[in-house]
Amino acid sequence: MVERPISKNTSARPGRVLHRNIGLAFFRIGMLGFGGGPSSIPLVHQEVVKKYEWMTDDEFGDTLALANTLPGPIATKMAGYVGYRVAGLWGCLNALLSSIIPTVVLMIVFLGLLQTYKDVPWVENMAASVVPVVAVMLALLTWEFIKKSGQTLGWMRALLLLALSAILIEAFNIHPAFVILGCFLVAFSSLLKRRKKA
Amino acid sequence: MIYWQIFLAFFIPGILGYGGGPASIPLVEHEVVGKYEWMSTQEFSEVVAIGNSLPGPIATKMAGYIGYAEAGVLGSIVAMIATVAPSLILMIGMMVILMKYKEEPEVKSLTKLIRPVIAVLLGFMTIRFAQQSVEGVGISYTLLIMGVSFILLEKVKLHPAFVIALALLFGAITGL
């Protein structure tokens, strides 16, 4: 597997174009993520890795792992971090505001309307029809990660690890954060050994 | 001091809500309905229902709306900051450290090890969304939309935005 160089646009002094792109990317992510935070994960991947190439697949995976480990809403953590990474503090604010503000404004407007029109079946159905699309997007993303695992770890080890984490997370109901922390421990154990020798 | 109360009401769910936005809904209810009595359970469930049918992260939408309802625009901003800031600061700090040691063999092997875990998490998320879809629009519509969107996304390489827009349109038409 060929490692791609570090993503573009990581300059210390981003231009106006970059900020416009961050704003647009996260506006789209915010407005299209039906079904809460997790549904925006494939959209973030689409914008950040595929379209703008601000991150590599690996970096996206690491970001997602860490975002999953920490408390709080996942979509905003991803947005804030990606924005920060691409364009510092202003980038962080830009990504956050672009993904949150439009939806909050919609929320305030809609709840106002709700008092007038109590229940609108076709609106509910609209949102519900997006859920299967999100499922397919997540499935495709899942497959990408499985394929990559196989390529980097070898299929035997990859399948073993996949099975192991599936059992831990679903069967034993161990919080994913602990599984990810376990990965940290395994990965850094060699570092501790080296430290001890030194 | 209403702003302080709003801050606390959303700061606590923000740092305790493991598992993303939806995980913090009951925590927010505990504060908003139980502790501060800003809303009745009925009102709160309406907020959740609308929040669920609009796009974007649910936790921030709820915070933004409830903050606005209690104390106007400033209340809205305070609630959103309280929801987002604590976990985001942690996230950025940790990622900066991780990126600093990117080239170390330990970090490289960490990335490799984490990948299958992420695949599993995404896989289960997929299953949950599929289940939710069956509950929402029924099994036949679910399979139909899934099949069509798979072809559009994977074979036609259509941008997800268009696929989502099509699904919205489809949902609006079949829901009339």
Nearest CA to B125 out of A35, A117, A81 is that of A35
A175 contacts in chain B (CB < 8 Å): 18-19
The predicted-structure confidence for B32-90, as pLDDT tens digits, reads as follows 988 899 998 878 887 887 787 788 888 888 899 999 999 999 999 999 999 988 888 88
Q: Are B46 and A114 in contact (CB under 8 A)?
A: yes
A174 touches chain B (CB under 8 A): no
Task: Supply B146's token pair.
Answer: 């899934």
Which residue type is seen at A145? F
Which residue of chain B has the CA closest to A97?
B80
Contact at CB, B105 and A176, closer than 8 angstroms: no
Tens digit of each residue's pLDDT (9 = 90 or more) over A67-90: 887 777 888 889 999 999 999 999
Whether residue B58 and residue A73 make contact (CB cut-off 8 A), yes or no, is: yes
Lowest mean pLDDT among A109-113, B25-29, B61-65: A109-113
Q: Give the percent of chain A with pLDDT over 70.
A: 84
- Average pLDDT (B128-134) is 87
Backbone angles phi, psi at B151, to 5 degrees: -60, -45
pTM of the model: 0.74
Asked if A127 is an interface residue toward chain B (Cβ–Cβ < 8 A), one would say: yes
**A54 with A122: CB under 8 angstroms?**
no
Interface of B with A in 49-108 (CB under 8 A): 50-62, 64-65, 68, 76, 80, 83-84, 86-88, 90-92, 94-95, 98-99, 104-107
User: In this structure, what token pair is assigned to residue A95?
Assistant: 């990504």
- pLDDT reported for residue A185: 84
With a cut of 70, say whether residue B158 has pLDDT above it: yes
Q: How many CB atoms lie within 10 A of CB A158?
A: 22
**Number of helical (H) and strand (E) elements in chain B, helices listed first:** 7, 0
Q: CA–CA separation, B165 vs B146, rounded Å?
A: 14
Which residues in B lie closer than 8 A to residue A132 (C-beta atoms)? Answer: 129-130, 133, 137, 141-142, 145-146, 149, 167
Give CA–CA dist A34/B168, Å, rounded: 10
Dist. CA A161–CA B91, nearest whole Å:
25
Cα gap A38→B26, rounded to integer Å = 18
By three-state DSSP, how is residue B55 classified? strand
The residues in A 12-51 lying below 8 A from B, measured between CB atoms, are 28, 30-43, 46
Q: Is B45 on the interface with A (CB under 8 A)?
A: no
Say if the Cβ atoms of A165 and B126 lie within 8 Å: no
Disruptive mutation site among B43, B60, B80 for chain A (greatest number of A CBs within 10 Å): B60
Taking 70 as the threshold, does the pLDDT of residue A24 lie above it?
Answer: yes
In chain A, residues with a C-beta closer than 8 Å to the C-beta of B146 are 132-133, 135-136
Alpha carbon B16 to its chain centroid, in Å, reads 15
* Chain A touched by B140 (CB under 8 Å): no
Give the model's pLDDT for residue A135: 87
Lowest mean pLDDT among A33-42, A45-54, A75-84, B2-11: A33-42
DSSP 8-state secondary structure symbol assigned to residue B21: G
- Quick one: pLDDT band at residue A5, thresholds 50, 70, 90? very low
Closest CA to B124 of A169, A191, A146: A169
pLDDT over 90 for what percent of chain B? Answer: 27
pLDDT over threshold 90, residue A113:
no
Cα R_g (chain B), whole angstroms: 20
Alpha helix segments (H runs only) across chain A? 16-32, 41-45, 57-69, 74-116, 121-153, 155-166, 176-197
CA-CA distance, A66 to A62, in Å (whole number)? 6
Return the higher-pLDDT residue of B148 and A196: B148
A95 reaches B (C-beta below 8 A): no
What local confidence, expressed as pLDDT, does residue B128 receive?
Answer: 84
- Asked if A56 has any chain B CB less than 8 Å from its own CB, the reply is no
Residue B134 tokens, joined: 């069956």
Q: Is the pLDDT of residue B176 over 80?
A: no
A166-196 pLDDT, tens digit each: 998 888 888 777 887 888 888 778 777 766 6
- C-alpha distances (whole Å) from B62 to each of A32, A134, A146, B129, B164 are 17, 22, 34, 21, 23
Q: With a cut of 80, say whether residue B27 has pLDDT above it.
A: yes
CA B6 to each of CA A99, B57, B169: distance values in angstroms, whole numbers, following the listed order = 21, 19, 37
Q: Are A36 and B20 in contact (CB under 8 A)?
A: yes
List all residues of chain A from 134 to 173 with a beta carbon under 8 Å from chain B: 134-142, 145-146, 148-149, 152-153, 158, 161-162, 165-166, 169-170
Give A149's strand partners. Answer: none
Contacts of A85 in chain B (CB under 8 A): 95, 99
